[in-house]
Amino acid sequence: MGKILNGKELAKLRADKLKETVKILKNDGIQPLFCVINIGDNPASKLYVRTKKRQAERIGIEEKIYQLPNDETEEDVINLIKKLNADPKVYGVMVQLPAPEQINVNHLMETIDPAKDVDGLTPSNMGRLWQGDHFVEPATPSGIIAMFDHYGIELAGKDAVIVGRSNIVGKPLAALMQERNATVSLLHTKTQNPEYYLKNADIVVSAAGQANLITADKIKEGAVVVDVGINHVNGKLVGDVAFDEVKEKASWITPVPGGVGPLTVESLMEQVVKLTRRANGR
């Protein structure tokens, strides 16, 4: 039976350490502060923004939320980002995704100062990620790598499959895992034969957003299974993995909730502190 990759516990461990770093900064008069721009009234986004705020407060980081209406124009969001870019007290700027359809997210990403890009999603930081010379890392991929490190899961030479090619998870995670010498296949909705890749994979990361997508019959005995999915089924939060059956076949598995989610939030805080330190020459 698979062992649990306890994201919640690891997030707490890392947060306690980070809190000490923040304490030292604060003693020297440096207050880590980042801004989250949330456009519209997506209930999930509102929940995430609040979760982040609670976590930030626990660590001693200030989070300012800019809640904008659903019909906000792209131009107005760009102007807000420019204002935050110019504010020396602000060390991080991020846009909660998804954004309403009148907003071209790429235009927003092009506007965020790469030195304040806590989400690691600006073109230059995404580019650096692929060039193997990066400073910030997108939160979810960063948390997943931290989890592999903590539990001693070796990536070198392993066949890894990532299901889902989003800018916030699949693509940056592919970059980070290949940097650790895994052979990465990035699967997506047009992949002809996903079963072919899955049955050979030593490591499976599912970020597709489809409940019960990964069942026990699809994976290799002893695979490491990481579930990034967030699905609500009959009022219950579940991932993409059929947890109960897959855990019998996997060597390691993340639960949902309590797996990747808490690590995502904690990793974002790590990036805020990283950028705060760098901006202050530390």
Ligand X SMILES: Nc1nc(=O)c2c([nH]1)NC[C@@H]1CN(c3ccc(C(=O)N[C@@H](CCC(=O)O)C(=O)O)cc3)C=[N+]21
Active site residue 52: yes
Classified as helix, coil or strand, 230 is: coil
Question: Given the rule CB under 6 A, which of 22-30, 79-87, 183-191, 251-259 is the region that contacts ligand X?
Answer: 251-259
DSSP state of 244: H
Asked whether residue 58 is marked as a ligand-binding residue, the answer is no
Encoded tokens for 69: 């209406």
The torsion angle over the Cα atoms of residues 267, 268, 273 and 276, rounded to 10 degrees, is 150
Asked whether residue 165 is marked as a ligand-binding residue, the answer is yes
Please, are residues 96 and 36 in contact by the beta-carbon 8 Å criterion? yes
Phi-psi region of 79 (alpha: psi -120 to 50; beta: other; left: phi over 0): alpha
Q: Is 91 a binder of ligand X (CB under 6 A)?
A: no
Instruction: Single out the residue of 6, 185, 206, 264 in contact with ligand X (rule: CB under 6 A).
Output: 264
Interface mask (CB under 6 A) for ligand X, residues 157-196, using x and -?
-----------x----------------------------
Query: Shortest Cβ distance from residue 194 to ligand X (Å)?
Result: 23
Query: Shortest Cβ distance from residue 277 to ligand X (Å)?
Result: 21
Site for ligand X in 219-248 (CB under 6 A): 230, 237
Which of 55, 116, 117, 119 is labelled catalytic? 119
- Distance in angstroms (rounded) separating the CA atoms of residues 224 and 10: 17
Please, are residues 217 and 229 in contact by the beta-carbon 8 Å criterion? no
Q: Is 261 a binder of ligand X (CB under 6 A)?
A: yes
Exposed / middle / buried, residue 224 (Cβ in 10 Å: 0-12, 13-18, 19+)? buried
Site for ligand X in 8-67 (CB under 6 A): 48, 51
Asked whether residue 278 is marked as a ligand-binding residue, the answer is no
Query: Shortest Cβ distance from residue 281 to ligand X (Å)?
Result: 27
Please, are residues 34 and 64 in contact by the beta-carbon 8 Å criterion? yes
The beta strands (E) that lie in the chain are given as 3-4, 33-39, 62-68, 92-95, 159-163, 183-187, 203-206, 224-227, 231-233, 236-238, 252-253
| Cβ closest to ligand X, residue 194 vs residue 262 | 262
Sign of the Cα pseudo-torsion (86, 124, 209, 221, in order): negative
Active site residue 67: no
| Cβ closest to ligand X, residue 100 vs residue 258 | 258
Question: Given the rule CB under 6 A, which of 12-20, 70-78, 154-162, 257-265 is the region that contacts ligand X?
Answer: 257-265
Known binding-site positions for NADP(+): 164-166, 230
- Binding region for ligand X (CB under 6 A): 48, 51, 94-97, 119, 139-140, 168, 230, 237, 256-258, 261-262, 264-265
Task: Indicate which residues carry an active-site annotation.
Answer: 52, 96, 119
Known binding-site positions: 164-166, 230
